[in-house]
Amino acid sequence: MRLPLLYRQHRSCLFRTVKYSYSTAAEKPKALPTEYRKNEIVYPDRLNANHHDLETYLAYASRSGLDSKSTVFVGTHYEYTVQEVLKRLGFSLQQTGGASDYGIDLLGEWKLPAVPLNLRVLVQCKALSKKSGPNFVRELEGAFAGAPSGWQGNGVVGLLVSQKPATKGMREALARSRWPMGAITCTGEGRLVQMLWNNRANEEGLTGVGVGIRYRGGNLSEEEIHLTFKGENMETEP
């Protein structure tokens, strides 16, 4: 059985620009949703009142003498790094977590040009040195079932963020999934190097969004991605 394509790549060598169009089947894409829930978003209670972003967490870790090599420090530091980096792409995220969080690390909204209201997003962060495999897709699918009430139904997208690019197996699992989801590669230093999503995510509002490549500070060794909408840059400056 031949698996459906996750994305097609179009490259312009002159400007080093990459755009992707995504599909999981040969079927005609569904119409974009015209309305989502209009109730005010309610976040779960914070687990720790001592920090809410990378700056406050580093200050808290310094005061508390946290071991910078511990799994707790590394994981939380990465979550806040992802929160800060995705802010310039239009995300507004808060850290979450707990005994029954289904692996969800960040919750929030994503402002996109193609939808009337912000998308709700749930994010799982993997501060791991190994590549992301299809098992991570299954974990993210489970997160939809256990998400808070404000992140269920239409207008919700799940994202897996890890430090290593998605494997072929993970890309194929994303393509097969019935849930709207995507994968992002973000280094521990906060450099975005990959972003892809399936056709179900397109149907929730990502149609028209493209991925391009640029060089941080003009350094050819510091390649990173940025997002566009119909060819226009859709993010704030880093």
pLDDT at 168: 94
Contact 94, 52 (CB under 8 A): yes
Question: What pLDDT shows up at residue 140?
Answer: 94
Strands (E), the chain: 7-12, 17-22, 91-95, 106-110, 119-126, 156-162, 181-186, 192-197, 209-215, 223-229, 232-233
d(CA 73, CA 67): 7
What residues contact residue 231 under an 8 Å CB cut-off, 6+ apart? 210
Which pLDDT score is estimated for 185? 95
Mean pLDDT of residues grouped by 10 in the chain (238 residues)?
Answer: 39 32 40 54 81 96 95 95 94 80 90 83 90 90 91 94 93 96 95 95 91 82 87 74
pLDDT of residue 97: 67
Model pLDDT, residue 82: 98
Q: Which two tokens stand for residue 21?
A: 């169009």
Q: What is the pLDDT of residue 37?
A: 52
pLDDT of 78: 97
Indicate the DSSP class of residue 130. Answer: S
Contact 234, 90 (CB under 8 A): yes
Distances (CA, A) of 187 to 161, 165, 194, 223, 225: 10, 10, 10, 12, 12
